[in-house]
Amino acid sequence: MRLATFNLLHGRSLSDGQVVRERLAESVRLLAADVVGLQEVDRSQARSDARDLTAEVAAAMGTDQWRFVPALVGTPGFDWLAADGDEDAAAASYGCGLVSRYPVREWHTVRLAAAKVRSPIMLPGSKQVVWLQDEPRVGIAAVVDTPLGLMTIATTHLSFVPVWNGVQLRTLCKALAGLPGPRVLLGDLNMPPPFPAALSRWRSLAKVPTYPSPAPRVQLDHVLASGDLPPVRTVETPVLPVSDHRALVVEL
């Protein structure tokens, strides 16, 4: 079973700044994942041609078992409102997605509040640092019938604000503890090892740099596990035609 976490950067390529449908489909083909957690995902955004990127990933994987959950409505970095689950499905939104080739029995959403402070962040593909207001985050969990049996697989994209992302991680793991085990969390946690495993008390299934994609120096993308799972056979960070992150693939 191949599990992947992939920060899409809304499908944008660093090579030319374009968002091209075929590049996203090619990325999904190269991942060859059975379950993929997606972060920085657009739906109905002008910058990604008003497309539903989670739906496109699901189509490329040949499955109808998928869900997109917005963290905010509007455009990140500009005008937006925190999503609450009652937003218009046609509205421009941004959040996380989870796609599975295996049947999903249940879907769950965990909303994670934004930090109340601004924090410096380096813009993708540049050395420019800006101070940004933090945005709300979201976790998506699926109870999945897999070849290994019933398990919970979740994804999230945590805050870039230090310490606050640790609070969010602990909040999410506490919520996931009430769902069937074993449990796996796929996500861009915006923190390097050993903090994700230490804060969550879950074990890391892969320790490898994932950011920035041209020459990774730090691991921001993680696969964490709780409960009994088979050993990890392979860990991959394939070079893909989109994003400033490498996807992280773990095969069990």
| Per-residue pLDDT at 122 | 66
Over residues 135-158, the mean pLDDT reads 97
Question: Domains in the chain and their CATH numbers?
Answer: 2-251 (3.60.10.10)
With 90 as the cut, is the pLDDT of residue 143 above it?
Answer: yes
pLDDT in tens, 150-172: 999 999 999 999 999 999 999 99
pLDDT in tens, 86-135: 888 889 999 999 999 999 999 999 999 999 877 776 665 567 777 778 99
Contact in structure between 214 and 225 (CB atoms under 8 Å): no
If you average pLDDT over every residue of the chain, what do you get? 95
DSSP classification of residue 12:
B
Which of these ranges, 23-27, 53-57, 85-89, 207-211, has the smallest mean pLDDT? 85-89
77: left (phi over 0), alpha (psi -120 to 50) or beta: left
d(C-alpha 4, C-alpha 15), whole Å = 23
Provide the greatest CA pair distance for the chain: 46
Q: How buried is 24 (Cβ within 10 angstroms: 0-12 exposed, 13-18 middle, 19+ buried)?
A: buried
| Per-residue pLDDT at 78 | 82
Q: Which of 101, 102, 134, 98 is nearest to 119 (CA)?
A: 134
Over residues 188-192, the mean pLDDT reads 97
pLDDT in tens, 54-84: 999 999 999 999 999 999 999 887 889 999 9
| Per-residue pLDDT at 128 | 74
Please state whether the peptide bond connecting residue 136 to the residue before it is cis, i.e. omega within 30 degrees of 0: no
Q: Which of 110, 14, 124, 8 is nearest to 60 (CA)?
A: 8
